[in-house]
Homo-oligomer: A and B are copies of this chain.
Amino acid sequence: MQNEIIERLIEQFRTLPGVGYKSAQRYAYSIIEGSKQRAENFSHAILEAKSKIGFCKTCGNFTDEEICPICKRRNHKIVCVVKEPKDVISMEKVKDYEGVYHVLFGTLSPLENRGPDDIRIRELLDRVGSEGVEEVIMATNPDVEGDATAMYISKLLKPLGVKVTRLAQGVSMGSDLEYADEVTLSRAMEERREIK
């Protein structure tokens, strides 16, 4: 009974990650009830982002230039390896990090049939081989796939004589031990530090 023009807009919203029919319908109705100007701005923002945003030739992150602003200005001796562009935004909260990034666009996943050639590992090895990189920080997520990917990549990097590190894992600042899961607690115990 839904009008087919509305149905087409709902279908477009449903292509967004994690959006079901009811949310898509709510979004579509909000466009129809909103102003003409807003619909035009929205429509234009989609086309502009798709046409102008590409990938940085060095780190792979989204950018509208050939080389992204981070790669242009920062220290290439330290490379922080992340799974996705949004992880760059997260890591940038660490104010005193002055190195650059390498975006893998995925992690190794036998279940989803994603192997080493499907993520940007080759490009990372090329960078480390040619740019005089001294340290590679593996900042993939602290989960099974992220850990496996970090281990796999570190084995390929070590013969190149580069230092490979991994983000520390443990209990979160401000959290309550009562609610920490046992894997997190075990890691925190294993990686405990001496107080000096």
Residues of chain A at the chain B interface (Cβ within 8 Å): 1-3, 5-6, 8-9, 11-12, 15-19, 23, 25-32, 34, 36, 38-53, 62-64, 70, 84-86, 88-89, 92
Contact = CB atoms under 8 A, between A and B. Distances in A.
A120 B17 CA distance: 36
Nearest to A48: B5
Given A18-B23, A26-B17, A41-B12, A31 B46 contact: yes
Contacts of A11: 45
Contact of A9 (B34, B49, B63): B49
Copies held by the complex: 2
A14 to B, nearest CB: 11
A62 B29 CA distance: 9
B53 A47 contact: no
20 contacts: A2-B89, A3-B53, A3-B62, A5-B48, A5-B52, A6-B49, A6-B53, A6-B62, A11-B45, A12-B41, A12-B42, A15-B38, A15-B42, A17-B30, A26-B86, A29-B86, A32-B50, A36-B50, A39-B49, A40-B47
Contact of A17 (B5, B27, B62): B27
